[in-house]
């Protein structure tokens, strides 16, 4: 695992260049939270070593350690919810809005992430090409994107009229459409939403930091 620096801010963030890692990076930069990024080399299996398993027994990134509270949190959705609750940044001010954010966050976790993740695997990870699986996951991915598009036709953001952790979670996955051969032409509101979010300064910083996680690993292996 490669730390970006030796300084120890309040949060240590274990990540890799994946959509789930990007989710947390997006929030940390949006909220302006000081953190130390530790890049986990997934290809070398660092996430399966005892040191990492002591943080997350499931051996997955992302993980944060909040040194102010001596608290470790894993699972990207749990981390987003924890940080929003702790800081109040992007935290809905009413119960109705909080419920809306929570349901769309779970929509991403239970639908968008698994379907796009499986599509990525059968396109890029599997040693054998399975046309039936690719078609099945592409079709379901497009259906889910259509659901998002219908919602965005009624509001600027996914859960409410304000940017939230639901947008962060969905954006991190839906921006990978080009890697998955997904045609967004039928979804104009999703395309505009992606463009608007990507233009946010904090998002640009987070994307660069997430990309840096991959580059740091490559440099370490070179």
| Beta strands at 11-15 and 63-66: parallel, antiparallel or unpaired | antiparallel
Residue-range domains of the chain with CATH: 2-89+202-221 (3.40.30.10), 95-199 (1.20.1050.10)
Q: What gap in Å lies between CA 209 and CA 147, rounded to an integer?
A: 30
Q: Residues of 128-157 as b/e, b for ≥16 C-beta within 10 angstroms?
A: eeeeeebeebbebbbebbeebbebbeeeeb
- Residue-level pLDDT, tens digit, the chain, 222 residues: 655 444 578 999 999 999 999 999 999 999 999 999 999 999 999 999 999 999 999 999 999 999 999 999 999 999 999 999 999 999 999 999 999 999 999 999 999 999 999 999 999 999 999 999 999 999 999 999 999 999 999 999 999 999 999 999 999 999 999 999 999 999 999 999 999 999 999 999 999 999 876 554 433 332
Q: Which distant-in-sequence residues (6+ apart) come within 8 Å of 188 by Cβ?
A: 149
Tally of CA atoms within 13 A in the half-sphere of 116 that contains its CB: 28
Residues making up the chain, counted from first to last? 222
């Amino acid at each position: 695992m490669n730390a970006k620096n030796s300084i120890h801010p309040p949060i240590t963030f274990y990540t890799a260049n994946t959509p789930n890692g990007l989710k947390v990076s997006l929030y940390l930069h949006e909220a302006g939270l000081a953190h130390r990024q530790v890049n986990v080399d997934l290809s070398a299996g660092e996430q399966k070593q005892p040191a990492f398993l002591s943080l997350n027994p499931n051996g997955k990134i992302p993980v944060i350690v909040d040194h102010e509270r001596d608290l470790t949190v894993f699972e990207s959705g749990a981390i987003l919810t924890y940080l929003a609750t702790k800081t109040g940044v992007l935290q809905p001010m009413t119960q109705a809005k909080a419920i809306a954010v929570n349901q769309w966050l779970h929509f991403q976790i239970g639908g968008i992430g698994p379907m796009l993740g499986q599509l990525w695997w059968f396109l890029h990870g599997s040693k054998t090409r399975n046309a039936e699986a690719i078609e099945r996951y592409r079709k379901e991915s497009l259906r889910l994107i259509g659901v998002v598009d219908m919602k965005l036709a009624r509001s600027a953001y996914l859960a409410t009229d304000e940017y939230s952790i639901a947008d962060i979670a969905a954006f991190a996955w839906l921006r990978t459409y080009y890697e998955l051969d997904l045609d967004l032409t039928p979804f104009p509101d999703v395309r505009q939403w992606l463009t608007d979010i990507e233009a946010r300064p904090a998002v640009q910083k987070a994307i660069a930091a997430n990309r840096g996680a991959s580059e740091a690993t490559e440099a370490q292996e070179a």
